[in-house]
A and B are shown apart, each in its own frame.
Chain A
Amino acid sequence: MTQYLIRRLLLLPFMLVGISLIAFILSHSVPADPVNAALGEGAIGKPDLVRAYKEHWGLDKSLPEQYLVYLWNLSHGDLGNSIISRRSVAEDLGDAIPATFELATTAILISLLGVPLGIWAAIRHRKVADGFIRFFSLVGSSVPVFWLAYIAIFLFYTNLSIFPVGDRLDTGVRPPTHITGFYTLDSLFTGNWSALGSSLRHLILPALVLSLTTIGTIIRVSRTITLDVLHQDYLRTARSKGLKELVIIARHALPNILVPVVTVISLSYGSLLSGTVLIETIFSWPGLGRYAFQSATKLDFPGIMGVSIVIALIYITINLIVDLLYAVLDPRIRTKAA
């Protein structure tokens, strides 16, 4: 187990170099000039301004040189400065990552409801509840998320005025002291109740909409796997022993259901963390997705590289945690790994 962990961690730097190289090549293969992208009509015609700009951002060097400089800085923990925000990419990401984590974590916690719902649907196979849950999951996983977002906003913001929209706090409310970067937790820890109320109300609607996209998948996977497990021989045996249905599900079926379900949940979590562009734009949520989108469309190379590395790290970490969780949930994997 420890050996396994060490091996995985040792691979990390190599993966980072690989990811940064791929991100670098991909972002530079776009047939567009970053200088053109950044400079307006006024400055682009002035050679001295263009030269000063290229020198400032290191764009006057050859591509391999630029990459080596980037790697060297990266190895010193320096992600460079964002061309569009003029701040260090690390600082930008430091603001954006907690915002996205807070949103995605809330969404995934809500969509965990999908596990019991899926199991229940499987138990009530072909009954009314099953049909209802299946319909719900179908809608959740097939309706476009931006459409859902607009409907939710129309309903809960425009008409009912229950939730606000835009940013993480109400206008004029100061963010709580930075501890975790999660506004809800930070305001809870510091006893800043106005910020807590405000951040919760701002968080719920986008999180709900986001969770609807993942809960559908989680329900379907849980249901299918449960159905599969329910028809296994060992469950028939358990039933024939006269065990109660609840005991059968909880003790005999559940362990076999959890492994694939955990995979789906963690992958959903990963996709939530990296794929919230639409929701973050619609809800004016200052997170990673919006940052990624902005960097990409404005050819902010340091920004693109920073985001790529962070998202890759998120996936690597989640996969690692999942692998470790497997070992906890399924002893056979643990034996093999050890």
Chain B
Amino acid sequence: MAKFKGAGRGKYSLALVLLMFSALVLSACGDNTATPATAPTTATATTAAAATSAAATTAASATTAATTAAATSAAATTAATAATSAAATTAASATTAATSTTAAASGTAAAGKGGTLVVGTVFSSKGLDPAREYTQTAFTVMHSVYQTLVTYAGSDVTKVVPDLAESWTLSPDGKTYTFKLKSGVKFVSGNPVTSADVVFSYNRLKNIKGQPAFVTDNMTSFTAVDPQTVAIALKDVSPDTLSLLTTPSFGVIDSVTAKANGATDAADADKNDKSENFMNNQSIGSGPYKVTGFKPEAEIDLAKNPNYSGTVSYDSIIIKNTPDVNIQKTSLQKGDLDFALDIGPEQAAGLQGAAGVTIQQSTSLVILWLLMNADPSVSVPTSKNEVRQAIRYAINYKDYVELGGGSSLQPPSMIPVGLAGALDKSTAVPTDLAKAKDLMAKGGYPNGFTIKLSYPSDLTQNGVKFETLAQKMQADLAQINITAELDPKTIQVWLDEYRTGKQPMTLSLWGPDYNDPADYLTFFPGQKVAIRAGWQTGADPEIEALAAKAKVELNESTRLSLYQQAQKLLNERGPYAPFLQPSQVIGFRSNISGVTYNPVWVVTFNETAKK
């Protein structure tokens, strides 16, 4: 009874009102869930799916009747509000139609093509400035909106083709490239592409000192010889220059528009370039598409560039952040996505035979490899070459290939199959336990030893978990009596240790920054990655001499043969054991043709087309 006393009557009614209110809210809420769920939702859900692909076709036809390009966003809102009384279904498709109007109305409608392409990927970047971003997503987008002097067509990454440049020459001393630009190429703004834009873009790239600035390291100056000619001077002779120039970081931006929005290419650009925000929210390039919208966590919208001279496959492209790969898979299967860029072997297996879905597997240019530290102060056993050789023979390579699935293979060299300079697949190190045990004895460890095996525990590469790889490697090493103590670290902590070179043994990976064997010079003694493996300058003069020659050799076949000789020696004496070149999976709707995989920018959307 005592509890009762303090409470006045009013309080009961208040409590009751509260409860009734919550009940009201609940029932309202229940209605919310029920109402759309019964009729319109089912309808819209299916149309939504259709809207992505079907709106493409409807939009195209609606467009011709629709207003001019200027009405873009206005059209979108009017369409939406006009549809007030109409069912959600029609409203949804009306908006989609209006949205795609943007592109279709402004560009020359390519007959039988166009529509909207919807791409699902895990966003790795939120910026789109070629001078600042160095991530997969940014590269994929930049490659569609900015042009480079030269590029690669399709999946062939061994032959450079013209993009902004129509021709080029190399000076006799091998230190100056001169590019002649195509005439009549225009930016989104309508400004012509001139040599001044190229010079501005490249100086800006160098001087902002952002992540990608290292690609200009060997370039000392960029000169506008005349409005259509640009010269690039090199510090050292470097046969990889052309392939480097295909990197999206070398995308040419509209210098006039850029300057008007705070950009600078001066030496102090790292402090005084104020255009970052501007550059992240639109594109000012000459590629087939332009960035029209950017929601950093959700999507990047591209529309046809009205000033692009060539054919453009789509009216618009929507790149959606889809962080969960299983959802990417399901959405692709249902047709909500046209492309799923991050699915792995597991999802690919689940999509096998799914109607309307094509799974394209190609061998990636990623190498997964084992580091065996050659520095005796870090690890005595692996400083002995016999032990490192024994480990190379002890690895059951076919098991890793199986883990990678699809088009995975055992890499015959640190340079992956598919890049010039790689060794032939048949020369890959075989699994030979007897030989491995013999080598262990020769190295002075017939009874094995105990060693720490580090790996980034939260990293998954091409659908293969490092966790699984580490366990497999532990089992393989146990065959020759090596007790590997697993040392899992999160990627950031692992990176710290890896880059200081204090790991006796670790799993690691390397993907090409650009498609040239020169990107693999880092594995030779005294270079960045080699130092992490305890391989300092002077550790192997023969290999170093070969690498030094290969770096500057201008005759292509001589150059590649030098790389191959060095790779062979690396397989015999190096501190690395490359064990897997995983499969690269791209999933897309079967009505899309022309899809090829590029290791740097993944897909060139404009090379593909929708039936």
Does A318 sit at the interface, judged by CB under 8 A?
Answer: no
Does B358 sit at the interface, judged by CB under 8 A?
Answer: no
Bound Cα distance A84, B280 (Å): 13
**B318 contact set on A, CB distance < 8 A:** 171-172
Docked complex: A205-260 residues within 8 A CB-CB of B:
208, 232-234, 237, 250-252, 254-256, 258
**B280 contact set on A, CB distance < 8 A:** 86-87
B14, A299: Cβ atoms closer than 8 Å: no
Distance to closest chain B CB from A164 (angstroms) = 6
Contact of B99 among A174, A233, A250, A251 (CB under 8 A): A174
Chain B contact surface mostly: helix
Contact of A197 among B44, B298, B336 (CB under 8 A): B44
B92, A281: Cβ atoms closer than 8 Å: no
Distance to closest chain A CB from B41 (angstroms) = 6
Distance to closest chain B CB from A169 (angstroms) = 9
Does A45 sit at the interface, judged by CB under 8 A?
Answer: yes
Q: Which residue of A lies closest to B276 (CB)?
A: A86
Bound Cα distance A258, B17 (Å): 12
Bound Cα distance A166, B510 (Å): 32
B32, A153: Cβ atoms closer than 8 Å: no
**A170 contact set on B, CB distance < 8 A:** 44, 48, 51, 92, 96
**A272 contact set on B, CB distance < 8 A:** none
* A96-B297, A112-B25, A194-B88 known; A163-B41 Cβ under 8 A: yes
Does A161 sit at the interface, judged by CB under 8 A?
Answer: yes
Does A24 sit at the interface, judged by CB under 8 A?
Answer: no
Q: Which residue of B lies closest to A229 (CB)?
A: B3
A286, B492: Cβ atoms closer than 8 Å: no
Does A113 sit at the interface, judged by CB under 8 A?
Answer: yes
**A174 contact set on B, CB distance < 8 A:** 73, 76-77, 80, 95, 99
Size band of the B side of the interface? 35 or more
**B70 contact set on A, CB distance < 8 A:** none
A56-B270, A86-B126 given; 15 more Cβ-contact pairs under 8 Å = A39-B211, A42-B214, A49-B211, A49-B214, A52-B209, A85-B296, A162-B41, A164-B48, A166-B336, A171-B299, A174-B77, A193-B83, A197-B41, A284-B327, A286-B297
The 8 closest A-B pairs by CB, nearest first: A194-B91, A197-B88, A286-B297, A52-B209, A32-B492, A172-B96, A85-B126, A42-B214
Q: Spell out A's residues near B (CB within 8 Å).
A: 30-33, 36-46, 48-49, 52-53, 55-56, 84-87, 92, 95-96, 106, 109-110, 112-113, 115-116, 150, 153, 157-158, 161-168, 170-174, 191-198, 200-201, 204, 208, 232-234, 237, 250-252, 254-256, 258, 281-284, 286, 290-291, 297-299, 328-329, 331-332, 335
Q: Spell out B's residues near A (CB within 8 Å).
A: 1, 3-4, 6-8, 11-12, 14-16, 18-19, 22-23, 25-26, 29, 32-33, 36-37, 40-42, 44-46, 48-49, 51-52, 55, 73, 76-77, 80-81, 83-84, 86, 88, 91-92, 94-96, 99-100, 116, 118, 120, 126-127, 132, 134, 209-215, 217, 270-271, 276-277, 280, 295-299, 318, 320-324, 326-327, 330-331, 333-334, 336, 458, 490-493, 495-496, 499, 510, 513, 522, 528-529
